[in-house]
């Protein structure tokens, strides 16, 4: 471990992470890896528990403290934070901070993590986009489909109620005798 602390060559550290027989040596070598691209690759290629450690290290690079999330305005960074974290509140907060609606649509429709897809879908309010997402998620993601269907159905119910109210008002205006019935 002392020798690892003195290593600066990331390729040697990565070799140790992948090939050393001792789990504690692999973990210590991983803790010395600092390259963001390298950590991103390790997050995808390592088996647990090293995968979890690599994800935590990369998350710590992107977000040293959870209260700093509001200072991040780059949508790609927010999406990466969401895909790395296990904390549902941090995940939701990072996705809800994504400003680009098209990015949210892409996340809701195709992100590999179900929790990210659902959080992204929750931030979409445009009915046309919800209908599109509902079709995309049909037979692929029950949670996103259900959320979209509920919101679209709710929108249709409000539209129907508004149309019925308008018809009633129009009928009252056409037939003044009904106005007296309406007040009775």
- Report helix, strand or coil for 48: coil
The CA–CA distances, whole Å, from 71 to 60, 63, 66, 93 equal: 15, 10, 10, 12
Tallying the residues shown for the chain, one arrives at: 184
pLDDT at 184 over 90: no
Q: CB of 91 within 8 A of CB of 66?
A: no
pLDDT digits (tens, 9 = 90+) for 63-121: 978 789 999 999 999 999 998 988 989 999 999 999 999 999 999 999 988 989 999 99
Single pTM value for the model = 0.75
Count CB-CB contacts under 10 A for residue 71.
Answer: 7
Neighbours of 116 (CB within 10 A): 20
What 17-20 contacts at long range (C-beta under 8 Å, 24+ apart), as own/partner pairs, is: 17/42, 17/46, 17/50
Q: What is the pLDDT of residues 16-25, one digit of tens each?
A: 999 999 999 9
């Amino acid at each position: 471990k002392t020798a690892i602390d003195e290593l600066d060559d990331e390729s040697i550290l990565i070799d140790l992470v992948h090939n050393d027989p001792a789990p504690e040596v692999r973990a210590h070598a991983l803790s010395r890896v600092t390259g963001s691209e390298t950590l991103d690759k390790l997050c995808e290629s390592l088996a647990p528990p090293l995968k979890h450690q690599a994800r935590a290290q990369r998350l710590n690079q992107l977000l040293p403290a959870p209260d700093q999330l509001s200072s991040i305005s780059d949508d790609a960074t927010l999406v990466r934070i969401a895909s790395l974290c296990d904390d549902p509140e941090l995940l939701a907060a990072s996705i809800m901070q994504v400003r680009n609606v098209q990015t949210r649509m892409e996340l809701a429709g195709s992100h590999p993590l179900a929790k990210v897809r659902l959080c992204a879908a929750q931030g979409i309010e445009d009915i046309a986009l919800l209908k599109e997402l509902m079709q995309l998620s049909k037979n692929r993601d029950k949670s996103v489909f259900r959320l979209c269907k509920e919101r679209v159905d709710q929108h249709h119910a409000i539209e129907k109620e508004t149309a019925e109210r308008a018809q009633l008002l129009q009928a009252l205006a056409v037939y003044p005798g009904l106005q007296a019935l309406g007040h009775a």
